[in-house]
Structure 1
Amino acid sequence: MNQIITLGPEDDLNTITTSGFYRLNGVELNVPSGCGWGTLSVTGDQNTALQIVSDHINKQFWKRTYRNSSIWSKWIPIPTATPPQEYDLSLADGISGTAKYCKTQEGVVLIHGWVQNLAKPEQGKPSIIATLPEGFRPRNNCRFALISSATAPSIGLVRIEISNAGTINLVAWNEVGTLSAGVSVDIGFLGA
């Protein structure tokens, strides 16, 4: 039967390289941020090792490796199959529709939905659709080409621009009528 060793606040995970199972009981030294309570699994020896932490408070898993008897890698989160939480995107005044946004474990922000009753956009000039909150904004400004249903002509070429300040703008590429039929949005980008 495997013995579980309890580690306390004075223990340093950089010194734990012997294969085994450990209980983290308030460990503070060289743990992933905020992961002092949980379990630690170690596979290795004095030269190379793999540490996996199960964080019981934040319900996360982390891993790192050890090599050449002294070099530790950074703690890396281990993704789980948990779907991201979606939020309703507040649309600008006068715009109707339904749009949602979320952020995956890998840091990709996804926006999907349908916006309509957009005023006739002036060719080349942006119209604000919505603003993303901090934590869901792109690292750099990004652009996405879309085809929209429009009253005249029947097809309009539009561009969605998202700034690193979070504003989501619609820009017309060609002369389009009122976009009463709407624009379907289904885009993703790497968040800041």
Structure 2
Amino acid sequence: MTQKSASSDQPVRPPVRQRVRPVPSAPATEPRQTPRQPVPPKGSGQTPAASGNAASDEAVGYCNPPRHSRFKPGFDARRPRGRKPGSKNKASAIVAMMESPTVLRTPEGGIKTVSTAEALARKLRELGLTGQLPAIAKAFELYHKALPPAAVEPGASGGPSVQSPDEISAADQAILAAFEAEIAARISKGEKK
């Protein structure tokens, strides 16, 4: 419980301890006699004033590494000789892997050596034949990419060919005219078929 003084309504508190800062000791060396020179901005072409110590005049900091750790003249690259001859990039490594031989078992129990690409295509075919839709879609995508451009056009692979109206024979034009008349008659009657 705090005591209140009779003269005021403030509680009585203990006296505050005075803060004492330590007195610095005398410096072991003499302070600098010459003021430090400001470093000119980079790229200004100015150099710091020369004094007795060249190392202290060098500005070291951001974009200014110490002179001993800078690249020496004539050694501008980290890999001066470049990529080693014969080393492969990703594309050539993948092609080499897909063309490498793989051993497969045939349904008769024999062993057959095929390329990795062919083995993967066979596996994709097996998965597609089991009914897996992603495998079926991927197989058709690869099939269409593998076809030559002429085979993709209509009529080139044995399907119906598309002809211009000038190439249609007179008999075919008569059939089309009769069909057109029949459709027009059905529309006028209001039939759906």
TM range (shorter): under 0.3
Which has a greater percent of strand? Answer: 1
- What TM-score do the two structures reach when normalised by structure 2? 0.22
- What TM-score do the two structures reach when normalised by structure 1? 0.22
Which has a greater percent of helix? Answer: 2
